[in-house]
A and B are shown apart, each in its own frame.
Chain A
Amino acid sequence: MRIVSDNKAGVSLATDVGAFVEPDYANDEMPLSIRGMTVSYGDKPAVFSLDATFPPEAMTAIIGPNGAGKSTLLKAALGVIPRVSGEVTVFGEPIENTRNRVAYVPQRASVDWDFPTTVIDVVLMGLYRGVGLLRRFTRAQKAKAEDCLERVGMADFKDRQIGQLSGGQQQRVFLARALAQDADLYLLDEPLAGVDAATERAVIEVLQSLKTERRAVVCVHHDLATVRSYFDHVLLINVRKFAEGPVDTAFTAEHLHATYGGRLAATHLNQLDLAGLPA
């Protein structure tokens, strides 16, 4: 894997991703594929001319310094914020056709937790598209929502007002809502930011079980110390892409230096890469 230093829009992905594409998956059936994507706030690009491919049955971390465009990348790929340019395909099709196969977990801080709703009602929001405007939730759908809460260890909290939860519990509820969607591709924006160790374990356990169920998981991730132990693939970005690929080849000191510039201490870096710190 090389550092992509001058990446133009529309450049073929084959040279970049060929190294890790498993032979039985054609490139265009990848869970998520982004080509030549540029997103800007005003005239300042937040994500510039970015190509990336997210492989199946794997956990991918999107890594980069603050303001690198990690969250923007996810939101623009989902069409939440407009793209200046770029194509996004999900399992080989435009995302508009495959939305029911994608579940998104936003940042916890993006909502008002004093909103009048309960834990189980938030999880049921994941089933809104299935139930339509007028029908009531069936017994099976309610049971499914409770199962999803059980998976994140929150079954006893189902009737709580959401404002009474700790940060980690809020994160678990958001994850349960995404689980209820029964998607094939999970996109999570900083699911481990500011959560306690028990929640971190619970979240990672769920995400790894998704992987074994042959689903793809993509996380915006901030903690370099845990990249090796949690993830299979990484995408290093700082507005542009700096590297992508399996953790073993792409998560290197060289690439991290390039991505973070002078913002990482060399000693810190060496420690990360050489020791591969345990969780």
Chain B
Amino acid sequence: MTPFLEALLLQSGYNASLVAIGAGLLGFAAGTAGTFLFLRKRALVSDAVAHATLPGVTLAFVAMVALGGDGRNLLGLLAGSAATAWIGLVLVDWMARRTRLSEDAAIGAVLSVFFGIGIVMLTVIQTMSAGRQAGLESFLLGSTAGMLFQDAVVIAIGGSLAVLATYVLRRPMTLVAFDPVYAAASGYNVRQIDLAMMGLVMAVTVIGLKLVGLILIVAMLIIPPVTARFWTDKSAHVIWYAGAIGGFSGYVGAAISASARALPTGPIIVLVAAALFLFSLLFAPARGVAAAIIQHRQFQRRVHLRQGLLSLARSEKILEPYTIRVLKSEGLARADGVPTDAGRAQAAKIARDERRWEIAREIHRDVGLTGRYDGLTPIEDVFTADEIAAFDAHLGGPVAV
């Protein structure tokens, strides 16, 4: 077996297995918790939260050493990081609501100030005698070398709670993300729901700090939902697809990094997620780049088909060779451009729908609709029966060709 396959099947030893399982669970939790941040268009808040954990980690270390305890106690460090992350979150929220600063400016300010404080503290600690072996700098980019069973337990319990909370709050969070004004008018407390959503993100950030580090945890929160969005038009599905993508990235990324000596875990996990994102961007049906190109080709063909049929309906000669090829391949015309019976029938329908569309464009003057006018989308797909009846009232009887 190759080292990668061994790692994938949890055959690479105790530590590697622990890391792979932990990263998978963390990825799943981060993907689900990040979904609503993405849907609420506040993805960058997670960046501020993540950077605001650093002062907390360092302060907690100093406090625990000062009290004579073990400065590396994981729960203590995570509690400290959660405390300052929460302060950062509340500050962003307060600045965006109460001052003239926009949210992105507030995020920038909080992110850099908190991170700056954290780095200063980190440098000071590393010059202290007690701090030399602390390894606090691993919180920046994550570290798997010394992962303990208790670290995996923290991720498993914290991650499960975060996923459970996401599930319980999915309806209010969907409503607030889609239509906050309606949510508020229906009696939901939008601010509390937003804080709960960001609290979830904070929780996942804190439990993921040790493994992937504060700089890259943001990617685990945001890339999975963005990737999932390519594959579905239902928010309820985005949540679980994002969880699956995050979990897969975490597990496979950890396995890859375990299979080689010098590959860092956090960055590899992010790269796996990024690869899935890139694949989705290019090849997702409907929303992907390739689909857009194919759709454009089909669109071109439809335009020629419609144009050809219109020419037939008006008994005009078709000059464009591509148009004749398209008509011929559909069995609507012969190679010399003379229509078949099927071609005549289609031409009559298209001429009528064309006149309906003309009236439709006069009546419905909005962009969403003119965008859907591509000539071959049946008019029945775009308009309701009563709308079409209204067009026909303007038209008069069927048109003979």
Contacts and interface: CB of A to CB of B under 8 A. Distances in A.
B366 A128 contact: no
A194 interface: yes
A224 interface: no
A106 to B, nearest CB: 5
A93 interface: no
Contact of A117 (B182, B235, B363): B235
A214 B182 CA distance: 24
Nearest to A105: B182
A202 B181 CA distance: 24
Q: Indicate the size class of the contact surface on chain B.
A: 35 or more
Contacts of B175: 125, 128
B177 A115 contact: yes
Interface stretch (B106-114, B300-308, B381-389): B381-389
B168 interface: yes
B181 A134 contact: no
B37 interface: no
B186 A154 contact: no
Given A116-B229, A116-B232, A117-B178, A99 B363 contact: no
Q: Indicate the size class of the contact surface on chain A.
A: 35 or more
A143 B377 CA distance: 29
A197 B390 contact: yes
B366 A168 contact: yes
A153 B336 CA distance: 45
Interface stretch (A9-17, A26-34, A75-83, A270-278): A75-83
B232 to A, nearest CB: 6
Contacts of A99: 186-187
A128 B364 contact: no
Contact of B235 (A79, A115, A198): A115
Given A116-B229, A167-B366, A198-B363, A157 B168 contact: no
A187 B365 CA distance: 26
A164 B386 contact: no
Interface in B248-275: none
Contact of A78 (B41, B185, B229, B235): B185
Contacts of B364: 166-168, 196
Interface in A188-221: 194, 196-199, 202
Interface string A156-187: 11000100111111100000010001000001
A106 B187 contact: no
Interface of B: 39, 41, 168-169, 171-172, 174-175, 177-179, 181-182, 184-187, 229, 232-238, 363-366, 368-369, 372, 382-387, 390
